[in-house]
């Protein structure tokens, strides 16, 4: 039986001046590009920013949770420092542990994001696994995801009110759908950041397996676990439609899917290339264009559909190809007509 085991402690490569673009999934960046193009999104973001009192939210955790520092949850404080050094984080966010038996974590905040770990997660995971989760959350912070995640959480709270407005109902639902799509892709990005900081794929996969099973790692088999992911990908047309409906209002991809996605990224060679020092630098972030992100996202979706055994994926890819060919034909005819 194949198992996922803990790797012995070892030195990790420091990824000096690494840009968050190195780990961001192309569809993460592309979804944000599309999100910003939605009519009314900028106005909504400003309005929600005004409603969200970040200082008040921080005070809630300051008064009800435990802030991680040199004397409280010292192990977690040390792990945060470790992953921050590995990812060369320019700023160290605050981190809190809150009493909540549900294994989970989040990074929130509009201007100064901070990390929150549920006590159930701290109890469930070992030191290496917690390193991955903390790095995952730090990746969110470094990518600027906290702003949009805060917006999404606030909108979820206001869903009943805003969706009942006749004029803005459709626009609101479109923004919510775009935010959920972005959120799912941002989790794939943060998983990559977590892996780059831990530099141990087995640990990353073990976290997904533990969270999916509730911690019964001794009863799990990595080969069977990844076979589940393949079976999920190999859905027929009926199941493909069901999958789209099931994830429509989910902020996170399914855990088995996340593990499979991260494994594919490792197998692509990108992970190894970055560890070898071949990655974009923060000093060049200003030169990265929006159109480049949009094109990368389009290529990502196209490649996913092309490789997938998913029937809907194949259908969409084939239809897109036909439509593209038709457009080229019409363009050619129009050019000839102008001659």
Stronger pLDDT, 161 or 101, i.e. the higher one: 101
- CA dist 213 → 55, 83, 102, 162, 221 (Å): 36, 26, 13, 36, 11
**Structure confidence at residue 244 (pLDDT):** 78
Read off the pLDDT of each residue in 126-143 and give the average, rounded to a whole number: 97
- Does position 242 have pLDDT exceeding 90, yes or no? no
Q: Spell out the domain ranges in the chain.
A: 20-291
Residue 103, number of CB atoms within 10 A of its CB: 20
User: Could you give the residue numbers annotated as active site?
Assistant: 137
Strands (DSSP E) contained in 226-300 are none
- Does position 206 have pLDDT exceeding 90, yes or no? yes
Read off the pLDDT of each residue in 199-220 and give the average, rounded to a whole number: 96
The number of helix segments (H) and strand segments (E) in the chain equals 16, 4
Q: Which residues contact 157 (CB under 8 A, 6 or more apart)?
A: none
- Does position 164 have pLDDT exceeding 70, yes or no? no
- Does position 4 have pLDDT exceeding 70, yes or no? no
- Does position 298 have pLDDT exceeding 50, yes or no? no
163: left (phi over 0), alpha (psi -120 to 50) or beta: alpha
Stronger pLDDT, 316 or 112, i.e. the higher one: 112
Helix or strand holding residue 14 (H, E) = none
- Does position 24 have pLDDT exceeding 60, yes or no? yes
Read off the pLDDT of each residue in 171-188 and give the average, rounded to a whole number: 81
Read off the pLDDT of each residue in 253-257 and give the average, rounded to a whole number: 95
**Structure confidence at residue 152 (pLDDT):** 80
**Structure confidence at residue 18 (pLDDT):** 97
**Structure confidence at residue 292 (pLDDT):** 55
- CA dist 330 → 14, 323, 326, 336, 339 (Å): 52, 10, 6, 10, 14
- Does position 333 have pLDDT exceeding 70, yes or no? no
- Does position 339 have pLDDT exceeding 90, yes or no? no
Phi, psi of 16 (to 5 degrees): -60, 130
- CA dist 86 → 6, 91, 133 (Å): 19, 13, 14
Calculate the average pLDDT of the chain: 80
Stronger pLDDT, 334 or 207, i.e. the higher one: 207
- Give 35-90 pLDDT, tens digit per residue: 656 666 656 666 666 666 778 889 999 999 999 999 999 999 999 999 999 999 99
pLDDT bucket at 308, cuts 50 / 70 / 90: very low
Choose among 196, 185, 188, 169: nearest CA to 274: 196
- Does position 262 have pLDDT exceeding 70, yes or no? yes
- Give 79-127 pLDDT, tens digit per residue: 999 999 999 999 999 999 999 999 999 999 878 899 999 999 999 999 9
Percent of the chain at pLDDT > 90 equals 50
Residue 329, number of CB atoms within 10 A of its CB: 10
Read off the pLDDT of each residue in 166-172 and give the average, rounded to a whole number: 55
d(CA 162, CA 184): 22
Read off the pLDDT of each residue in 234-258 and give the average, rounded to a whole number: 83
Under 8 Å between Cβ of 268 and 300: no
> Given the structure tokens 């945060």, which residue do they identify?
80
- Does position 7 have pLDDT exceeding 80, yes or no? no
**Structure confidence at residue 94 (pLDDT):** 97
**Structure confidence at residue 255 (pLDDT):** 96
Read off the pLDDT of each residue in 323-335 and give the average, rounded to a whole number: 47
Choose among 30, 6, 12, 31: nearest CA to 291: 30
């Amino acid at each position: 039986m194949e198992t996922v085991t803990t790797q012995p402690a070892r030195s990790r490569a420091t990824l000096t001046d690494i840009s968050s673009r190195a780990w961001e999934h192309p569809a993460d960046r592309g979804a944000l590009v599309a999100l910003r193009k939605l009519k009314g999104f900028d106005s909504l973001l400003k309005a929600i920013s005004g409603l969200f009192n970040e200082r008040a939210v921080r005070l809630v955790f300051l008064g009800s949770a435990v802030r991680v520092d040199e004397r409280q949850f010292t192990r977690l404080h040390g792990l945060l420092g470790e992953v921050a050094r590995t990812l060369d984080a320019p700023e160290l966010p605050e981190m809190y542990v809150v009493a909540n038996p549900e294994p989970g974590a989040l990074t929130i905040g509009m201007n100064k994001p901070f990390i929150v770990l549920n006590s159930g997660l701290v109890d469930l995971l070992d030191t290496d696994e917690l390193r991955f989760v903390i790095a995952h959350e730090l990746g969110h912070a470094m990518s600027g995801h906290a702003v949009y995640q805060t917006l999404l959480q606030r909108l979820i709270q206001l869903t009943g009110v805003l969706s009942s407005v006749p004029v803005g109902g459709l626009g609101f639902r479109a923004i919510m759908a775009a935010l959920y799509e972005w959120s799912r892709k941002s989790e794939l990005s943060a998983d990559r950041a977590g892996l780059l900081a831990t530099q141990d794929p087995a640990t990353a996969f073990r976290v997904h397996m533990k969270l999916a099973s509730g911690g019964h790692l001794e009863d799990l088999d990595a080969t069977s676990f990844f076979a589940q992911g393949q079976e999920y990908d190999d859905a027929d047309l009926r199941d493909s439609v069901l999958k789209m409906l099931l994830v429509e209002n989910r902020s996170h991809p399914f855990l088995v899917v996340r593990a499979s996605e991260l494994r594919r990224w490792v197998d692509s060679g990108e992970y190894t290339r970055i560890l070898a020092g071949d990655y974009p630098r923060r000093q060049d972030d200003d030169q990265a264009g929006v159109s480049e992100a949009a094109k990368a996202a389009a290529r990502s979706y196209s490649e996913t559909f092309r490789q997938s055994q998913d029937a809907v994926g194949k259908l969409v890819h084939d239809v897109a190809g036909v439509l593209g060919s038709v457009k080229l034909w019409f363009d050619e005819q129009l050019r000839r007509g102008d001659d």
